[in-house]
Structure 1
Amino acid sequence: MRVAMAAAVVVTGVALAVVLGLVVVLLSARLIDAPWVFLGAGYVALVASGVVAVLAVSRILRFTGTWRSTAAVSVVLAMTAATIAHYTLLDRFPTMPVEPDPAGVRYWSVPDGRLAYYHQSATPMPGRRVPVVFLHGGPGTPGEGLPTGSAELAARGYDVYAYDQLGAGRSSRLSDVTQYTVEHAVDDLDAVRRSIGAEKMILIGRSWGGSLLAQYLARHPDRIERAVFVTPGTIWGGLEEDVGEPWPARDAAERREYEQLTGRARTLLQSILLEVNPNAAHSFVPDREADSWMRAVALTGRGATACSGLPRPPAHHNLQGFYSNQMLVADFAATADPRPALAQAHVPALVMAAQCDFVHWSVTRRYVEAIPGAVLVPVDNAGHGITEDQPALFTRLIAEFITGQPVEVPLWRSAADPWNRPPSG
């Protein structure tokens, strides 16, 4: 009976020690960002709980030499806990090497650091044309180099810019990750406008870039000449709608890789810390490691942006921004609904929907419903990455729209899905 009782105490003690250790870690992390403090506090709590369990077992079994036994077991517990932590919580994800900037990368200074950008100069033409600025998706998922269509727009007399948003790509990371907000992203975009000396811009936003464009348009309609939304994400995070499954078609190997990446103990603790204190999560898993992990996760679903059977887009080495992604997504749900302001924004807008886009039709359709001057073009045989699947058509569409020519692809004026896909939800 005593042995059974002792075994029960051991099992219960171990479970309680683990739970208590985690609770102490999270309570400490809420107050202090330093990992050595909150992890150390949890470690001490775990070992102390183990010692109490050992003392309880010793009393139950009436061992002699209790304190010597307790000391020995405590040492074993401490070493075991340290070893487990070393191979789980402290097992850093391999980071991408830092590489020299490719040719053509330049930087703008903004109040919180630098924004990396590419620029293609306009071919000299009579008159002054409004510059074109591309907005990448994610949040925190930049491209590499100048986007598809840049050379053609430059040949028509438009200066073309593409920049890495703050916290992504080669742009600066913030030490306080709670400052990654939608308002901050909008302010950075306006800082870009001032940096290029433009009263107005033509903005082309893809995926999250379309969501950011809508936020900027709602605040500064007088600073936009024309707007292009390319397979945009949700128009407002507060809708909490089912946008779509980004990776619906992983193969077995990709699913295994994804599960291994997202099931790591270090990653799970980081996720919990993000809810408790984002800056503690940032101290625990720094930018380079988190960004490298995010890239690896993204690569498990590269094929999701294309129609089935079409080539996958090539991978590049301009890293995603994990913390800008996480914090902007969270903040996006807390921003004001932009649609009342968009209803007063009389700016010509083109919305592109794609046949194989994982984003639901109802999500894309909201842009046409919200913006009085918006028209919608359905693009066949293209996924979320229209620029990769239909580069020539994409280039023609933006060139025609931006230069004020009639868009030759038929506009879609119905509320019904052009491809009769099953409704979301």
Structure 2
Amino acid sequence: MRRFRSWDDTELAYRTVGSGPPLVCVPGGPGQAVDYLGELGGLSNHRTLIMLDNRGTGSSQVPRDSATYRVDQLVRDLEALRRHLGSDRMDLLGHSASGGICLLYAAQHARRLNRLVLVAPSLRVVGIPSDLGVDEVLARRAHETWYADAVAALHAEAGSPQELERYRRLSAPLLYGRWSSAAQAQTAAEPAQFARTATEGFYADFEPDPGLPERLAACTMPVLLVAGEYDIWPTCASMRELTRLFADARLTVLPETGHFPWVDDPATFVATVQDFLARPPAPPTV
């Protein structure tokens, strides 16, 4: 792991893997170490992946001020990483909860981005519900042997951390296109990857900025939105709403995949992202 000091002197860690032009990758969770991204299904064969552990997660230091776990504060760490790397502009990929970090970063630092890739991003920062049409998505999985237990666990209220973990495991098949050995292995590894304080602090006292959609509309960088056909947060319907916020956005729905498309269909995921990253960047937003 490599390390740098962020804006408040918190030491953050990142690893690099692969070869080719750099792509900064930010993990979700929220509060999950970057390990779960792996090598993004082999995207590392085409890009040098710069994989950040957000503060208080993985190998990164716990901050002195817990308020800095909040999604809008993590934008400052991303900008500190860009400066540390010495990059005037960068390609950026965010998954799940970190999609919120990347959306806020794009609005604040648009001229620092060449291209933006959002994979199954959280939409809370822009005020778009993530579950539009979710009943229809769930209905398409009703033939699966695990379906009844998974849906019951999805809607159950846990009375203890142990019960919450049990429900998480039971509902996990809904997050994948196939409940494969790779999906099961990733699910089994997750508990050790989460930092509870970072998870709890991510949206603590956060209120969406009503002016954010207008600022995103002014961004000129190309944006790729990757959705899984079976994803329940965000659904494809919700992702279509996000597409409308950008001047130059492409929505790609990967068939028979869920919240982790590089696990379900690595070849299609890599081809989709690499094809997009090969596009010439737009002139920087002023």
What is the TM-score of this pair, normalised by structure 1?
A: 0.55
Out of 44, 69, 73, the residue aligned to residue 151 of structure 1 is: 44
2:112 to 223, 246, 259: 223
CA distance in 2, matches of 1:221, 1:167: 26
CA shift in 2, pair 1:307/1:294, >3 Å: same
Tell me how far 1:196 sits from its aligned partner. 1.1
Task: Kindly indicate whether residue 101 of structure 2 is the aligned counterpart of residue 204 of structure 1.
Answer: no
Matched residue of 1:149: which SS?
A: helix
Structure 2 Cα separation of the partners of residues 320 and 211 of structure 1 = 18
Q: Does 1:340 align with 2:214?
A: yes
What does residue 404 of structure 1 align with? Answer: 279
**CA spacing shift, 1:237–1:376, aligned 2, 3 Å:** closer
* In 2: Cα distance, 1:336 partner to 1:212 partner: 16
CA distance in 1, matches of 2:151, 2:3: 36
Select which of 235, 243, 263 maps to 2:131.
243
**Letter of the aligned partner of 1:152 in structure 2?**
N
Q: Which amino acid aligns with 2:189?
A: H
How far is 1:324 from its partner? Answer: 2.1
Higher helix share: 1
Q: Secondary structure of the residue that 1:383 maps to in structure 2?
A: coil
- Opposite residue 377 of structure 1, the aligned amino acid is T
Alignment counterpart, residue 74 of structure 2, candidates 179, 185, 188: 185
Q: What SS does the corresponding residue of 2:101 show, helix, strand or coil? A: helix
Preserved contact between residue 354 and residue 382 of structure 1 (Cα < 8 Å): yes
SS at match of 1:357: coil
Whether 2:252 is the aligned partner of 1:377: answer yes
CA distance in 2, matches of 1:400, 1:333: 35
- Alpha-carbon distance in structure 1 between the residues aligned to 2:86 and 2:207: 32
The answer as to whether partners of 1:193 and 1:201 remain within 8 angstroms in 2 is yes
Tell me what 1:109 maps to.
Answer: 5
Asked if structure 2 preserves the Cα contact closer than 8 Å seen for 1:211 and 1:233, the reply is yes
In the TM superposition, what are the counterparts of 1:296-315 in structure 2 within 5 Å? Answer: 298-311=168-181, 312-314=183-185, 315=188
| 1:350 lines up with 2:246 in the alignment | no
SS of residue paired to 2:194: coil
Counterpart secondary structure, 1:307:
coil
Instruction: Give the alignment of 1:53-202 within 5 angstroms.
Output: 105-110=1-6, 111-120=8-17, 122=19, 129=21, 131-144=22-35, 145-154=38-47, 159-202=48-91
The sequence identity of aligned pairs, in percent, is 24
Does 1:320 find its partner at 2:170? no
Aligned-partner SS, 1:225: strand
User: In the alignment, residue 171 of structure 1 is paired with which amino acid?
Assistant: S
**Shift of residue 161, structure 1, vs aligned partner:** 0.5
The equivalent residue for 1:395 is 270
Match of 2:241 in 1: 366
Structure of larger gyration radius: 1
Please state how far the C-alpha of 1:164 moved relative to its aligned partner: 1.2
Tell me if structure 1 keeps the 8 A contact 2:18–2:44: no
User: Post-superposition shift, 1:337?
Assistant: 4.1
Structure that is richer in strand per residue: 2
The answer to whether the 8 A contact 1:182-1:331 is kept is no
Give, in angstroms, the shift of residue 173 of structure 1: 2.1
Per-residue deviation at 1:193? 0.6
Which is further off, 208-217 or 134-143?
A: 134-143
Q: CA deviation at 1:334?
A: 4.2
Q: Unpaired runs of 5+ in structure 2?
A: 139-145, 281-286
Asked if structure 1 preserves the Cα contact closer than 8 Å seen for 2:5 and 2:11, the reply is yes
Which runs of 5 or more structure 1 residues have no equivalent in the other structure? 1-104, 124-128, 268-291, 406-425
Deviation at 1:335, TM superposition (A): 4.1
Provide closer, same or farther for how the CA distance between residues 112 and 335 of structure 1 changes in structure 2, counting only shifts above 3 A. farther
Q: 2-side partners of 1:161 and 1:297: how far apart? A: 33
AA aligned opposite 1:118? R
CA RMSD, aligned part only? 3.1
Q: How many residues are treated as equivalent by the alignment? A: 261
CA contact (8 A) 2:24 2:93 kept: yes
Q: Distance in 2 between matches of 1:355 and 1:345?
A: 27
